[in-house]
Chain A
């Protein structure tokens, strides 16, 4: 959570935006998705050796974030391409991508990805096998997070990464769905919030 909070602070600093769009993408992914890592991180910590618990949480979270960073390698240039074609902020394109995300929220594929992301397997207790296991489970968590929230994040890639006002409701959706016991029940609410955000983006 402190890392996610720090990421939000960094996003508000103009200097960070000078480091390039991919860095901003990674910081944005940290701000929005690291809170969702908490249950899995708690599980690997409590199920691991005491002396490994710090490493366990770090490896799990870094592997999760690495998946989003890898996605950014494709998503950021794609977003840049779109903005290059239609201008730095094209309301119609942003609105369209958010409406697409709203539609994705109510699909069975979204529900499956979200549910899969709630499950974290135990890993070996120590050594290379533990490192491999923690990285595997963190990456799996990140991959399922991309499956669940990727369409939603695509809207941000198109909007540009300084779109803090759009990030806030989207972060709310991501966090509630991942942390609530029956997160899939909020699919309709998430879709409505996304439609509302799309309307704001159009303005």
Chain B
């Protein structure tokens, strides 16, 4: 099997300018797929159908292959790997057989590029939308299939104007996680790849990578009402596929880290779970592929990435290595709630803070608080609801002093992001969802708590949690509201 090389789209830009032959071929192939959908909306190799495999608007009838995307689940990464593979095969087939102005080399070697927005640390360039995606027309003046006006236009985040994603949105702290999946328990983060679930086509407690950078890039490239900001529309923006190629690459990067051995789940419930897909000809894949079918990108699928090592730059270099929960936490010792808010808090695009009264653990976590070397401290944001994605991500800080700039001493207070991709689906009663009444987020704040305790800033009886919109907002602008049901603190 030939091994195709998925390349960084910015490296292609460096080599061949905006319209590097690989990117131009992608644009032309996307144009062919859009044309197929215009002729027959149900053409399984068309642009609209491929998007519908991910998700359809609520209430839209679906066949067995549509509405299948896996989120808030340990299936998030393998399902999207299979999804990208068959999409890439469709594009490759078009490049080989239907595009007249493509060189033989591109025909033989075309592979889906990826957008590595995280590679540059403080360098803004890589965090800008690749140029070919923000150019309304191609060289010949015809409409560019890679362009859409339905992207973020908010102040400071105007994607088509070349604004960079802010570094907190593309952080690769998720790579620090040491376990892939965790059986979900309140308060506890869900590992790198997501919580142990069954088939799960809904947002919910998610793995670290699914939240940031995955969800944050969706939200902030799309912006309010933008394509990338919702499940059904995201694949209609051609940059979706490059974004997910990068997420898929980060899975490889995670496994390649050599500080601690990382491994994929070995449970048969994960490895053998079948997913229905059509191949590049529109024919049902038989037998259906499961995560086991796609664990090795080279031997199973015939591709590799240009870079599969981590860039230790900028903020990433000082990332904390928090203690990790065990792979299979003991159910008789779940994280114990020690304090929570009583009133909901509403976020409308401005900084907001809530105070949490914290008591002592009296159950399984009854030990010595953050001073205890074995004590873990978690922050849980629960029942986060909203009718639509406001197109903004909120950074979460613990005990951030009033009025202070959250970027002054970020590592003292910053614990993570509230990533709102998929929030509109939490109110959709079109699907079976068990559990909470909205999105939820769990952060391991053990190291922040210990650092603050050492610095005399930790009050064991009270915690202040501050939500700050990343990138700021226009003071005259009111974003679609997001309600946080409860903020809780857990010990373990």
Chain A residues whose CB sits within 8 angstroms of the CB of B342 once the complex forms: 124-125, 127, 129
Shortest beta-carbon distance from B436 to chain A in Å: 7
**B477-491 interface code vs A (CB 8 A; 1 in, 0 out):** 000000001101000
Report the bound CA distance from A111 to B428 in whole Å. Answer: 12
A129 and B486 alpha carbons, distance in the complex (Å): 12
Chain A CB within 8 A of B382 CB: yes
A166 at interface by CB-CB < 8 Å: no
Contact B339 A125 (CB under 8 A): yes
- Distance (whole angstroms) from the CB of A76 to the closest CB of chain B: 30
CB distance from B101 to the nearest CB of A (A): 48
Q: Within the assembled complex, what's the spacing in Å between the Cα atoms of A182 and B362?
A: 36
> Is the beta-carbon distance between B429 and A116 smaller than 8 angstroms?
yes
Distance from A48 Cβ to chain B, minimum over Cβ atoms (Å): 6
Q: Is B263 an interface residue, CB under 8 A from the partner?
A: no
Stretch of B20-28, B171-179, B228-236, B330-338 that contacts chain A? B330-338
- Asked if residues B486 and A124 are in contact (CB atoms below 8 Å), the reply is yes
- Whether the Cβ atoms of A120 and B340 lie closer than 8 Å is no
Chain B: CB-nearest residue to A53? B363
A181/B434 contact (C-beta < 8 A), A50-B362, A121-B485, A125-B488 known: yes
Report if A17 contacts B (CB, 8 A).
no
Q: CB distance A115 to B485 under 8 Å?
A: no
- Contact of A47 with B337 at beta-carbon distance under 8 Å, contacts A118-B434, A120-B435, A121-B485 already known: yes
Contact, CB under 8 Å: A181 / B432 = yes
> Does B361 make an interface contact (CB < 8 A)?
yes
CA distance A48 to B337 in the complex (A): 6
- Does B432 contact A49, Cβ atoms closer than 8 Å? no
Residues A50 and B336 in contact, CB atoms below 8 Å apart: yes
Asked whether any CB of chain A lies closer than 8 Å to the CB of B359, the reply is: yes
Q: How many residues of A contact B (CB 8 A)?
A: 28
* In the complex, B282 has a CB within 8 A of chain A: no
Q: Which residue of A lies closest to B59 (CB)?
A: A108
B336, B341, B437: the one contacting A124 at CB < 8 Å is: B341
- Does any Cβ of A come within 8 Å of B186's Cβ? yes
**What total count of A-B pairs have CB within 8 Å?**
81
B433 touches A115 (CB 8 A): yes
Q: Are A47 and B359 in contact (CB under 8 A)?
A: no
**Residues on the A chain within 8 Å of B363, using CB:** 50-51
**Contact between chains at A125 and B436 (CB < 8 Å):** no
Whether B436 lies near A121 (C-beta < 8 A) is yes
Q: CA A111 – CA B198 in complex, angstroms?
A: 20
Q: What is the CA–CA distance of A116 and B434 in the complex, to the nearest angstrom?
A: 9
A43 touching B185 by the CB < 8 A rule?
no
Asked whether A162 is an interface residue with its Cβ less than 8 Å from the other chain, the reply is: no
Known: A120-B435, A120-B437, A121-B485. A46 touches B185 (CB 8 A): yes
Question: Measured between alpha carbons, how far is A120 from B436 in the docked complex, in Å?
Answer: 5
**Residues on the A chain within 8 Å of B485, using CB:** 121-122
Q: Dominant SS at the B interface? A: loop
> What's the Cα separation between A119 and B334 when bound, in Å?
21
Known contacts A49-B359, A50-B362, A182-B199, A124 near B340 by CB under 8 Å: yes
Interface set, chain A 179-195, CB cutoff 8 A to B: 181-185
What's the least CB distance linking B431 to chain A, in Å?
7
**CB of A102, distance to nearest CB on chain B (Å):** 21
**B435, A122: Cβ atoms under 8 Å?**
no
Tell yes or no: A77 within 8 A of B by CB. no
- Shortest CB-to-CB span from A54 to chain B, Å, is 12
Whether B432 and A115, one on each chain, are in contact in the complex, defined by CB atoms closer than 8 angstroms, is yes
Q: Chain A CB within 10 Å — which of B338, B343, B488 has the most?
A: B488
B388 interfacial by beta-carbon distance below 8 Å: no
- Which A residues touch B382, using CB under 8 A? 47, 122
Count chain A CB atoms within 10 A of each CB in B198, B341, B434 and give the residue with the most: B434
- Residues on A with C-beta less than 8 A from B364 are 50
CB distance from A146 to the nearest CB of B (A): 16
Contact B199 A43 (CB under 8 A): no
Given A116-B429, A122-B485, A125-B488, A49 contacting B337 (CB threshold 8 A) = yes
At the interface, yes or no: B167 with Cβ under 8 Å from chain A?
A: no
Q: Does A88 contact B (CB under 8 A)?
A: no
Shortest CB-to-CB span from A19 to chain B, Å, is 36
- Among A50, A112, A114, A115, the most chain B Cβ lie within 10 Å of the Cβ of A50
A110 → chain B closest CB, angstroms: 11
Residue of A46, A111, A114 ringed by the most chain B CB atoms within 10 A: A46
Q: Are A184 and B436 in contact (CB under 8 A)?
A: no
**Most chain A CB within a 10 A radius of its CB, from B186, B340, B343, B430:** B340
A169 close to B (CB within 8 Å): no
Interface string of B318-347 (1 = CB under 8 A from A): 000000000000000010111111110000
Contacts A47-B337, A47-B488: A118 and B359 contacting too (C-beta < 8 A)?
A: no
A39 contacts the other chain (CB 8 A): yes
Q: How far is the CA of A118 from the CA of B433 in the complex (A)?
A: 6
Minimum CB–CB distance from A37 to chain B (whole Å) comes to: 13
Given contacts A46-B186, A47-B186, A121-B436, contact A115 B340 (CB under 8 A): no
Partner of A121 from B361, B383, B430, B432 at Cβ < 8 Å: B383
In whole angstroms, how far apart are the Cα atoms of A43 and B342 in the complex?
17
Residues in B whose Cβ lies below 8 Å from that of A120? 435-437
Could you tell me the distance between the alpha carbons of A127 and B342 in the complex, rounded to whole angstroms?
10
Instruction: Select from chain B the residue with minimum beta-carbon distance to A46.
Output: B186
Q: Which of A46, A50, A114, A122 contacts B486 (CB 8 A)?
A: A122
Q: Would A119 and B337 count as touching, CB distance under 8 A?
A: no
Q: Which residues of A contact B431 (CB under 8 A)?
A: 115
- In the complex, the 9 A-B pairs of residues with the closest C-beta atoms, listed nearest first: A50-B363, A124-B342, A121-B437, A125-B340, A122-B382, A129-B342, A122-B486, A118-B434, A112-B429
Query: Can you name 5 extra interface pairs (CB under 8 A) apart from A43-B436, A122-B436?
Result: A46-B185, A118-B435, A120-B436, A121-B438, A182-B199
B positions within 8 Å CB-CB of A? 185-186, 198-199, 334, 336-343, 359, 361-364, 382-383, 429-438, 485-486, 488
28 intermolecular pairs with C-beta atoms under 8 Å apart: A47-B382, A47-B488, A48-B337, A49-B337, A50-B362, A50-B363, A51-B362, A111-B429, A112-B429, A115-B430, A115-B431, A115-B432, A116-B429, A119-B434, A121-B437, A121-B485, A122-B485, A122-B488, A123-B486, A124-B342, A124-B343, A125-B340, A125-B342, A125-B488, A181-B432, A182-B199, A182-B432, A184-B432
